Structure 1
Amino acid sequence: MKKTLLSLLVACSTSAMAAQSYEFGVTLQGYDGSATSSVSYGGQIARHALHNSLKKVAGKGDQAQMNTYLSSTEAGRVILDPVSKDGFPVKQSKIDELSSGKDLLSSAYDGVITGWPGNPTGQELLEQLVDAAAKTKAGYDPVNGYDYVQLISKFAMGAVFYNKAVNHYLEEKLEADQHPNNEAYKPGTAYTGKEHVWDEAFGYFGAPANGLSLSAKEVVQITKQNPEVFAKADANGDGVVDLKSEMAFAHAYYAASVDASAGTNYFHTIMQAFVDGRQLISDAKGKALTDAQRTELKEYAAVIATAWQQVIAEAAFKYAGSVYADLEKIAVIEEAHGDVSKAYRNYVKHWGELKGFALALEAAGRDLGNAQAGLDRLIGFSPVLFGDAQVVALDGKGGFVQANAGPMQEYKLNMIKVQNLLAQSFALEAKLNDKTAGMSDVLEQLNAAAQSAEND
């Protein structure tokens, strides 16, 4: 896939590539206002702040507070994350400073999610996860093996940001009859229809506007609000980090994180395609895009959608490896008759991250074919629990139904199969935390365990 992405980028790079930052002037013909920039994606950044804040409160058991950041559009909501820290001041402190009247739920994927019991829509699943989290202590359900903080966060990023960008703005909204480039997006705006459509997709990716001038490691540290990279984050030198253009969120962070660890180029591939696509639109000077220009723009969109999907799959691959390692630790501790509570807690956390990212892959409205069915079956509706049980369905009252799933240690084999499936289906490049070489060892362990049980 690396070769494919590279060739697409080369093929798509026929327009001027002067822009090295996501900053573009006004091209709207007839515009007589005072604006000098045509870039606008404050609504998308508001939803990033809503997601970060929701994750912050998801483990506190307060459903009303969670709904404030999930489904409310009320004014005055405080940003809980990111907030100013010593050496890393942030410009905004309220959601309305980014954009007013925004929520997460109404923008979430409304198609069916087959990977969760009951086949809810994406919107229904987010509501269910928040409702369930409110009934637990710190968002943790040890009985069914759920870490709701992780499930809510990882799925919300896919159901809202990934879905809206690749299934909406970078697909249907690129058609000629959708927000044409020779008209204002709305009366009085300083940007054209196609400029704003592209900007909204970029906003959902969550990258700093100057991302092309940053290393992957610097992007990661900006998300972590490390004071050592404040000067890099504060691109305009005004002494504060503007969340609208200078912070790294969500999948931009995960893309950079993978790159920083594996030496891949997901972040800059996506960032370059966004910048080049926006430059193409800007070069049209407020005129309707030709069929050739829209074809080229769709090629940039394809690069973005492919690499973005890979980033999510890379994250799922990594956490499948973590689940495998957790099961190994649990086996060692059990054999020594030790306390497995901490190892089990890590197991549930990592499973929640794996499942959340796997569900996110479903939330783009794109047919994953056999890969989707395989992920659903191999990962299951919950991790395999002590007593070898696993959630298999919902009862008539919305409670979880468990059934025997076979030995917990056999679930390690599922994690190897998950990694193989992800690597092959999405042509992964990084494959962090790769456990696929351990297939024969797991089979030997399972055979030995079976023989021991027969001898008993």
Structure 2
Amino acid sequence: MRINNDKNASLNLQIIRSKKNMKFLKRLTPFTLPLLLAACGNDDLAEFSVQAPDTYEFSSLTDPSAPSSVDYKEATTRLMLIKELEYLIGSDYLQHVGHNSGKEAVLDLLNAIYQGGTKTNVTSLVNSNIYDKYDPENEEEPGKTAIRSIELETGDSLLQASFDDLTKGINLRDIMPGKGTPLIHQENSKDLFVGWSPGNKDQGDMPDYLIQTWFTGIAGLAVDSNAEGEADLSTKYYSVMDFKQLITTFLRGSIGYMQSASIHLDFENGLAASNNSDVTTPYTNLQHQWDMAFGYFGSPTNANLLELTQLKGTAYFDANNDNSIDLTSEYNFYFSDNAATRDADATLFDTRFHRNIQSGFLAGRALIDYQVYDKSLDPDSLKIELSQIKNDILDTWETSIAAKMIHHINIIAVVAPKWELSEIYNSSYLYHWSELKALATILQFNANSKIDIETLKDIHSDIATQPNKTNVINTFLKKLFKLREALTTTYNFSLEDIEFW
């Protein structure tokens, strides 16, 4: 079978993309992807046409009474847990709790999100309000935790206003690499984790151990007092590095990116699922695996109808104008926002990260749906087609991460030499180094990464384990520029783009 998209390929299924729309590189226009299927080597068999929709909306083929066959609420819940953790770490509230109640109280709050999540049998966000531990004005209600991490325009509200409205029974820790899912790489028949020295820890324990270590660092900062003996709100969450950026970027990659790249879109795991109808759910197992990967990418379902300038840096889109924001379909999460931002900032408008990822998810899901009701597309042929589509998605996703690494290297080159001049330069240096380090760390969670594990070790050697503030900072910056050159070559970036990102 043949797939023809923007690249030359040779399989039996043809995916034809409208050439007239390809010149609008700054706009995500309405996009319909025809899939023309023809049986191999048999001219007597009919051709079939499948249309991929412009939005990620698919009716149920297993239960016609169901409103939709799409369900990735579990992925959205985890993305929201990470986002709420980001909000909590950066809040004055956490500093007040630390100042008044000590380190353990801070650790309890952080782990109420990370370990508790939406579980019901432990302290979590569905059975406790984590924001009532310091409430001098007595404004908080006991019980479930309302979502605080999303700032809304006047008149808008969240359809899922609290964590009780999201998927129950999940957290972040249980699916961390080394915990709920194995590490991908091995060395000498043992699990291998790259980026941070394990010391006397088992490498499989490192991802979770890092989170707890960084939590402890945050708790230590939160107990500080200022000269007046009050909570010191100036230190917040960074000292030698930006703990908030390290934690949240690392979690987004070790959970969202790894689950997509190495679980849900992997043929030995998620894509090995059956595509036969299941009367107990409005979707097949294979449909659900594909949907979960899309959910972790975190894009609005109507993103192909939006302009890149809209997607860049915009948190949500009220698609149906009801002033009620559905986090599962109308929110623009981290990886989606980054892909669109890198596209919008490309000086030659020559990248299509977001468009290609979104359209790939649409094409793959439409193809899976087709095979549900027409078995002339046999499972082996479906696997061949999905293999190329998912490879394109993951290659582009990884490339957008590499582009963001270049963005951080560019900023570090400007602010690092001036870190002693003002707190603005210092905090910016810590922020960009921390996210660069976290992004480099999550590259190992794609089993089919373009960067092999030995190269990744070299990358981490150059980035180091904390920002360089010594008299050899220029040597450190030279290493980062060489890293930028290597990323440019590996991912075929234009010189104009890497200078502007």
| Kept in 2: contact 1:21–1:210 (CA 8 A) | yes
Greater shift in the superposed pair: 151-160 or 130-139: 130-139
Out of 408, 411, 435, the position equivalent to 1:353 is 435
Question: Secondary structure of the residue that 1:222 maps to in structure 2?
Answer: coil
Q: 1:346 to 1:372 in 2, by over 3 A?
A: same
Question: Secondary structure of the residue that 1:17 maps to in structure 2?
Answer: strand
Question: Secondary structure of the residue that 1:78 maps to in structure 2?
Answer: coil
Question: Secondary structure of the residue that 2:291 maps to in structure 1?
Answer: helix
Deviation at 1:415, TM superposition (A): 1.6
Out of 165, 168, 173, the position equivalent to 2:263 is 168
| Kept in 2: contact 1:173–1:179 (CA 8 A) | no
Q: 1:270 to 1:314 in 2, by over 3 A?
A: same
**Structure 2 residues without counterparts, runs of 5 or longer:** 16-34, 37-49, 96-105, 127-143, 184-191, 223-234
Q: 1:79 to 1:40 in 2, by over 3 A?
A: same
CA distance in 1, matches of 2:313, 2:423: 31
Deviation at 1:355, TM superposition (A): 0.9
Does residue 306 of structure 2 align to residue 218 of structure 1? no
Alignment length (residue pairs):
391
Which residue of the partner structure matches residue 41 of structure 1?
72
The one-letter amino acid paired with 2:319 is A
| Kept in 2: contact 1:423–1:431 (CA 8 A) | no
Which residue of the partner structure matches residue 443 of structure 1?
none
Out of 324, 340, 348, the position equivalent to 2:413 is 324
Q: Deviations over 1:363-393 (max 9, x none)?
A: 33456324302211110111112xx2xxxxx
Deviation at 1:56, TM superposition (A): 0.7
Which residue of the partner structure matches residue 493 of structure 2?
428
Q: 1:428 to 1:155 in 2, by over 3 A?
A: farther
Out of 97, 100, 110, the position equivalent to 2:165 is 97
Question: Secondary structure of the residue that 1:428 maps to in structure 2?
Answer: coil
CA distance in 2, matches of 1:287, 1:5: 23
CA distance in 1, matches of 2:5, 2:494: 12
Which residue of the partner structure matches residue 225 of structure 2?
none
State how 1:414-425 maps to structure 2 within 5 Å.
414-425=479-490
State how 1:18-29 maps to structure 2 within 5 Å.
18-28=52-62
Deviation at 1:63, TM superposition (A): 2.1
| Kept in 2: contact 1:79–1:95 (CA 8 A) | yes
Out of 304, 308, 311, the position equivalent to 2:400 is 311
Q: Deviations over 1:209-248 (max 9, x none)?
A: 111111122122431x5xxxxxxx2222322221111111
CA distance in 1, matches of 2:165, 2:159: 9
Deviation at 1:323, TM superposition (A): 1.0
TM-score normalized by the length of structure 2: 0.72
CA distance in 2, matches of 1:422, 1:181: 38
| Kept in 1: contact 2:417–2:473 (CA 8 A) | no
CA distance in 2, matches of 1:374, 1:221: 32
| Kept in 2: contact 1:83–1:89 (CA 8 A) | no
Q: 1:170 to 1:84 in 2, by over 3 A?
A: same
Deviation at 1:10, TM superposition (A): 9.8
CA distance in 1, matches of 2:490, 2:436: 16
Q: Deviations over 1:169-220 (max 9, x none)?
A: 00136677x3201142xx6211111111100010000001111111122122
RMSD: 2.6
Q: Deviations over 1:254-295 (max 9, x none)?
A: 001111111321001000000000000111234665211111
Deviation at 1:5, TM superposition (A): 8.2
The one-letter amino acid paired with 2:291 is D
Deviation at 1:9, TM superposition (A): 8.7
State how 1:207-286 maps to structure 2 within 5 Å.
207-223=299-315, 233-262=317-346, 263=349, 264-286=351-373
Question: Secondary structure of the residue that 1:236 maps to in structure 2?
Answer: coil
State how 1:354-373 maps to structure 2 within 5 Å.
354-366=436-448, 368-369=451-452, 370-373=454-457
State how 1:137-156 maps to structure 2 within 5 Å.
137=222, 138-142=235-239, 145-156=240-251
Q: 1:37 to 1:360 in 2, by over 3 A?
A: same
Out of 74, 77, 83, the position equivalent to 1:52 is 83
Deviation at 1:150, TM superposition (A): 0.7
Which residue of the partner structure matches residue 206 of structure 1?
298
- Identity, % of aligned pairs? 24
Deviation at 1:250, TM superposition (A): 1.4
Q: 1:200 to 1:286 in 2, by over 3 A?
A: farther
TM-score normalized by the length of structure 1: 0.79
| Kept in 1: contact 2:488–2:498 (CA 8 A) | no
Deviation at 1:347, TM superposition (A): 1.1
**Structure 1 residues without counterparts, runs of 5 or longer:** 226-232, 389-405, 437-456
Q: 1:83 to 1:107 in 2, by over 3 A?
A: farther
Q: 1:10 to 1:276 in 2, by over 3 A?
A: farther
CA distance in 2, matches of 1:322, 1:68: 34
Which residue of the partner structure matches residue 78 of structure 1?
146
Q: Deviations over 1:338-380 (max 9, x none)?
A: x444322221111111111111212334563243022111101
Deviation at 1:139, TM superposition (A): 4.8
The one-letter amino acid paired with 1:25 is S
Deviation at 1:96, TM superposition (A): 2.9
Does residue 150 of structure 2 align to residue 65 of structure 1? no
Q: Which has a greater percent of helix?
A: 1
